[in-house]
Structures are given as structure tokens and as C-alpha cells.
């Protein structure tokens, strides 16, 4: 049997807020006690994670005194050194505090916008201090309940202004840092701006330093909107913009569930892992999820181990798919090309266009061919269910 134990080269990371999630929800109180950042690092070390990510206030409470800040940082650094965990990513909490009730960078109140930028500048410094090379922006409050309240155009402009500010700041400080924007369609706001990875990609192209900014797609966020997650990831990858990824799971059309990776849609998870492994994505595999509310901290470890184990099982299944002779023969057949269309395809030329317009196509004959996708899909299912 294959070894499914996580290793540093797998780049498995968790946020402090994921394994530290106390199990509260809008209808019920926490079911697990608070753990310190250092305690969570030891927990992650025990289950075999490679790295830990944090929001500024996961690490440092917003009103921590300078002495408290120093003590927490010292304890956290010791835990990192003891476990060998690294901090590949950091981010800002721009959603818990009441001041962000109507947005951070997109708030109608210039004082809120200025405070949000100030908080982010300090949080960037904190992330860099601990070695983060990727900085995530998830604008959970950047949206509306009523569109009477805010101009959607102004919101885009304010968001752009903020991102341009941070790019210049990172350049100014000579930080080795790239930014990754994370989309979500709704929750906690009724609607959130730039709701999908595709919207984010279009937004990035309008920035002053688009080369510094990519995306951090999250499985659950696109599944909430009923979107094929892997397709969005592929688009980001092809554009050179897949800077980070948030892995979890989610039933479509429901509240934000942040389920253990691969626990809901195993087939979608398979195609995703296959994609990441096939293209040799070498960034963090960040599990942005949390244990069921029913669990104690042993259950949290089961959850974390499960995320990584499922990823590695699916990675093995992807290798099996790629090595399967019958599957590969079907794929070769599906993609067969006798070269007859080469003169017509590819880059435009006036001659090519004229030749193509003069060519006749036998639509009925072309359409007659069965594509064998039923067989191919069943072979995939056989692999996934371990029957092949």
C-alpha cells in the first residue's frame, strides 16, 4: 500500500483559523476551547503539516499591548522552530470588527478605508516578519445587502486604489511578496464584489502592477455559486496567476461550509488534484476548512489528517489514470489529428480565411462519430472507487 503520510514537499498548509476554529456558528456557541497560536503550531506539527498561515489578529489580538505582542511572537517563533513549520502566507482580518460592517477598502466612509489600508500595511509587515511570501486578500465585507447603498463602480475603483497602494508599498519596502486575491460570491455580505476567480482575473489586469497580483481560488467559494472549480483554476494557471489555492469542500447553493477537502465531491476533488499535479503546481496546498462542530481536538486532528490523506490518495489515483493503457488509448483516439485541417487552423491570414471559406464540411459524417466519453467516465469512476 502506498504511503499517504504528508511530507514537507507536499506543501500542505493550514491557517491558524482552520484548526483553531472553535465550532461556533450563527445559531450556536463554540464547542471547542480557544487554543493559542503556538498550541496550534504544535498540533499542526503533530499531524505533519508543512506550514501555517495567519490573519494579523489570529496571531495578535487587535488590542494586544506591546508586551503581549512580544510574548506571543516569542512563543509562536519557538513553536515554529520546535516543529520546523514555516509561514508561507499571511493575510488581514478585515471582516470581524464592527468598523468593517460596510466594507473595508470599498466602504463609503473614507475613515474606514484609511483604517483598512493602515491595518493591512501593518499586517503585511507582520507577515513578512515571519517569512510569508504570499499575501492573501479576501474581501469578505466588500459588498452590499442593498445596492441603493453603494456605487458598484466606485467600489471597483476603491478596491483598485487600495491594491495599487499595497503594490507600491511592497516595492518601496523591497519585500519579496506577491499578492493573491480570493473571490467569494456572498457571505458574510448579501453579495460580494468580484464574486468569482474569473472576475478577479479581469480586475487584476486593470492594476498598476498586475505582475505582482494573482489569485487564491477556494473550492467552496466557487461551488457555492455552482461553478466548476477546476476550470477556474485552469484559467488562472494558464494566465500565470495561480499564486495560492484554498482547498476544502462544499455542497452547492448552501451556506459556507468549509468541509474537509474531498469530503463532498470526490470527483471534482480528483480532477482538481489531477490538474495541480499534471501542471506541476508547486505552491502551497492550503486547507482552508475546519472540523465539524461535533469534534473535540482529536477530531480536529482527524480532520487535518483527512484533508492531506485525501489529497495524497487522489494524487495516486491521478497517476493511475495517467498510466492506464485503456484510458490513454481512448484519449489518444479522442484527440486524433490526421493533419488535414492544419492549413485552416491556427493564426489568421487572409489566404487561410479564403481557403477555409471555400472548404466544404460533411456535418452529418463528422457528427456521427461516438466519442466514448461514457466509457472514459466509467473508467474514471472505477479508478476512484478502487475497483480498477
Crossing angle for the helix pair 325-334 and 297-323, to the nearest 10 degrees: 60
Q: Report the alpha-carbon distance of residue 19 to residue 112 in Å, rounded.
A: 30
> Of the two residues 40 and 219, which places its CB atom closer to Mn ion in the complex?
219
- Measured distance CA(36)–CA(75) in Å, rounded: 9
Q: How many angstroms separate the first and last alpha carbons of the chain?
A: 15
- Residue (132 or 327) nearer to ligand GLT, CB: 132
Among 56, 218, 249, 265, binds ligand GLT (CB under 6 A): 218
Contact in structure between 197 and 228 (CB atoms under 8 Å): no
Is 58 a binding residue for Mn ion by CB under 5 A? The answer is no
Asked whether position 222 contacts ligand GLT by CB under 6 A, the answer is: no
Q: How far apart are CA 117 and CA 119, in angstroms?
A: 5
| Contact partner at residue 136 from ligand GLT, Mn ion, none, CB < 5 to 8 Å by partner kind | ligand GLT
CB of 287 to Mn ion, least distance (A): 10
Q: Which of 75, 83, 3, 5 is nearest to 51 (CA)?
A: 83
State the binding partner of 50 from Mn ion, ligand GLT, none, CB within 5 to 8 A by kind. Answer: none
* Positions in 279-338 near ligand GLT (CB under 6 A): 288
CA atoms within 13 A on the CB side of 341: 8
Nearer to Mn ion, 124 or 220 (CB): 220
Closest CA to 55 of 146, 144, 114, 120: 120
242 near ligand GLT, rule: CB under 6 A: no
17 scored as a contact of ligand GLT (CB under 6 A): yes
Which residues from 111-150 bind ligand GLT, rule CB under 6 A? 136, 138
Q: Which residues of 284-297 are buried (b: 16+ CB within 10 A; e: fewer)?
A: bbbbbbbbebebeb
In angstroms, what CA-CA distances link 175 with 115, 182, 367, 371? 22, 21, 56, 51
**Binding residues among 68-127 for Mn ion as defined by CB under 5 A:** none
Residue 38 cell numbers, joined? 503556538
Residues whose CB is less than 8 angstroms from the CB of residue 368 and which lie 6 or more positions away in sequence, other chains included? none
> Nearer Cβ to ligand GLT, position 221 or 305?
221
Mark residues 262-301: x for contact with Mn ion by CB under 5 A, - for none. Answer: --------------------------x-------------
For residues 12 and 308, what is the distance between their CA atoms, to the nearest angstrom?
7
Of 265 and 327, the one with the shorter C-beta distance to ligand GLT is 265
Q: Which residue in 56, 222, 246, 249 binds ligand GLT (CB under 6 A)? A: 246
Partner in contact with 91, chosen from ligand GLT, Mn ion, none, beta carbon below 5 to 8 Å by kind: ligand GLT
CA distance 189 to 149: 13
The residues carrying an active-site annotation are 55, 58
Nearer to ligand GLT, 253 or 370 (CB): 253
Minimum gap (Å) between residue 43 Cβ and ligand GLT: 18
Segment 44 to 83, residues that bind ligand GLT, using CB under 6 A = 55
Residue nearest to ligand GLT (CB): 138
Cα dist. 30→19, 22, 24, 225, 291 in Å?
13, 5, 4, 28, 12
Which residues 236-255 are close enough to bind Mn ion by CB under 5 A? Answer: 246
Alpha-carbon span 211 to 179, nearest angstrom: 9
The site for ligand GLT (CB under 6 A) is made up of 17, 55, 91, 136, 138, 182, 218, 246, 288
The site for Mn ion (CB under 5 A) is made up of 218, 220, 246, 288
Amino acid at each position: 500500500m502506498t504511503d499517504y503520510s504528508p511530507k514537507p514537499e507536499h506543501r500542505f498548509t493550514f491557517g491558524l483559523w482552520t484548526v483553531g476554529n472553535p465550532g461556533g456558528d450563527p445559531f450556536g456557541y463554540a464547542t471547542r476551547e480557544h487554543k493559542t497560536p503556538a498550541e496550534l503550531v504544535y498540533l499542526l506539527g503533530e499531524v505533519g503539516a508543512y506550514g501555517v498561515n495567519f490573519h494579523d489578529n489570529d496571531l495578535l489580538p487587535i488590542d494586544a499591548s506591546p508586551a503581549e505582542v512580544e510574548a506571543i511572537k516569542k512563543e509562536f517563533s519557538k513553536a515554529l522552530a520546535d516543529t520546523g513549520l514555516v509561514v508561507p502566507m499571511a493575510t488581514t482580518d478585515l471582516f470581524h470588527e464592527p468598523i468593517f460592517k460596510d466594507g473595508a477598502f470599498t466602504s463609503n466612509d473614507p475613515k474606514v478605508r484609511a483604517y483598512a489600508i493602515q491595518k493591512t500595511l501593518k499586517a503585511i509587515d507582520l507577515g513578512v516578519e515571519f517569512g510569508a511570501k504570499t499575501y492573501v486578500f479576501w474581501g469578505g465585507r466588500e459588498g452590499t445587502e442593498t445596492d441603493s447603498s453603494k456605487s458598484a463602480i466606485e467600489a471597483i475603483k476603491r478596491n483598485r486604489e487600495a491594491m495599487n497602494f499595497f503594490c507600491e508599498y511592497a516595492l518601496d519596502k523591497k519585500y519579496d511578496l506577491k499578492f493573491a486575491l480570493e473571490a467569494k460570491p456572498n457571505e458574510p455580505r448579501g453579495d460580494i464584489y468580484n464574486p468569482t476567480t474569473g472576475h478577479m482575473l479581469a480586475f487584476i489586469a486593470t492594476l498598476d502592477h498586475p505582475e505582482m497580483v494573482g489569485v487564491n481560488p477556494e473550492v467552496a467559494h466557487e461551488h457555492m455559486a455552482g461553478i466548476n472549480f477546476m476550470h477556474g483554476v485552469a484559467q488562472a494557471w494558464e494566465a500565470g496567476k495561480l499564486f495560492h489555492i484554498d482547498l476544502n469542500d462544499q455542497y452547492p447553493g448552501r451556506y459556507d461550509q468549509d468541509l474537509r477537502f474531498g469530503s463532498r465531491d470526490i470527483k471534482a476533488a480528483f480532477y482538481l488534484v489531477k490538474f495541480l499535479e499534471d501542471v506541476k503546481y508547486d505552491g502551497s496546498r492550503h486547507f482552508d476548512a475546519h472540523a465539524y462542530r461535533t469534534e473535540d481536538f482529536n477530531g480536529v486532528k482527524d480532520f487535518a489528517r483527512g484533508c492531506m490523506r485525501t489529497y495524497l490518495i487522489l494524487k495516486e489515483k491521478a497517476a493511475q489514470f495517467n498510466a492506464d493503457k485503456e484510458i490513454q488509448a481512448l484519449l489518444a483516439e479522442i484527440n486524433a489529428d490526421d493533419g488535414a485541417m492544419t492549413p485552416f487552423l491556427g493564426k489568421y491570414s487572409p489566404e487561410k480565411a479564403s481557403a477555409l471559406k471555400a472548404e466544404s464540411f460533411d456535418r452529418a459524417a463528422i457528427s456521427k462519430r461516438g466519442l466514448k466519453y461514457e466509457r472514459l467516465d466509467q473508467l474514471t469512476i472505477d479508478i476512484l472507487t478502487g475497483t480498477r
